[in-house]
Homo-oligomer: A and B are copies of this chain.
Amino acid sequence: MSTLALSTETTVIEEQLAAARAAIAERTTVTNVVLTACGGSYAVMMPNEYFLSTTATTLETHAFNAAEFTARSSKLVGENTVVILCSHSGNTPETVAAAEHARSLGALTVAFTHELESPLAQASEYVIGYQHGPEKSESYVAPALLLRLVAGLLDDREGTTLSASIDDAVAQLPTLVGDVRHAHTAPADAYGAQYKNEKLIYTMAAGSNYGTAYSFAICLLQEMQWIHSQAIHAGEYFHGPFEVTDRDVPFIALVGLDETRAIEQRAVDFVTQHSDRTLVIDANTFGLDSVDESVRGIVSHLLFGPALRAYADALADHRGHPLSVRRYMWRMEY
Query: Which A residues lie at the B interface, using CB under 8 A?
Result: 32, 38-40, 42, 50, 53-58, 60, 62, 65-68, 71-76, 92, 94, 199-200, 206-207, 217-219, 222-224, 226-231, 233, 235-236, 238-246, 259-260, 262-263, 266, 270, 274, 326-329, 334
* Complex alpha-carbon distance, A39 and B60, angstroms: 25
Residues of B within 8 A of A206 (CB): 65, 67-68, 71
Q: In the complex, are the beta carbons of B57 and A236 less than 8 A apart? A: no
* Complex alpha-carbon distance, A260 and B69, angstroms: 10
Q: In the complex, are the beta carbons of B226 and A243 less than 8 A apart? A: yes
Known: A236-B42, A243-B223. A53 touches B67 (CB 8 A): no
* Complex alpha-carbon distance, A74 and B62, angstroms: 13
Residues of B within 8 A of A259 (CB): 71-73
Closest to A239 in B: B39
Q: In the complex, are the beta carbons of A76 and B94 less than 8 A apart? A: no
* Complex alpha-carbon distance, A50 and B231, angstroms: 22
Besides A38-B238, A60-B76, A243-B326, 4 other A-B contacts (C-beta < 8 A): A38-B235, A50-B72, A68-B263, A92-B239
Nearest 10 CB-CB pairings of A with B: A39-B239, A230-B230, A218-B240, A67-B235, A223-B240, A65-B235, A60-B60, A38-B239, A223-B243, A57-B75
Residues of B within 8 A of A58 (CB): 76
- Kindly identify which residue among B200, B222, B242, B243 contacts A240, using a CB–CB cutoff of 8 Å: B222
Q: In the complex, are the beta carbons of B76 and A57 less than 8 A apart? A: yes
Residues of B within 8 A of A71 (CB): 206-207, 259-260, 262-263
* Complex alpha-carbon distance, A295 and B57, angstroms: 34
Known: A39-B236, A65-B235, A263-B67. A200 touches B228 (CB 8 A): yes
Q: Give min CB distance, A208 to chain B, whole Å.
A: 10
Q: In the complex, are the beta carbons of A328 and B243 less than 8 A apart? A: yes
Closest to A200 in B: B228
| A/B interface sample: 15 pairs, CB < 8 A | A38-B235, A39-B240, A50-B72, A53-B74, A56-B75, A56-B76, A66-B235, A67-B206, A68-B233, A71-B206, A72-B260, A218-B239, A218-B240, A219-B240, A222-B243
Q: In the complex, are the beta carbons of A68 and B235 less than 8 A apart? A: yes
Residues of B within 8 A of A266 (CB): 334
- Kindly identify which residue among B62, B68, B92, B239 contacts A42, using a CB–CB cutoff of 8 Å: B239
Q: Give min CB distance, A190 to chain B, whole Å.
A: 25
Q: In the complex, are the beta carbons of B328 and A242 less than 8 A apart? A: yes
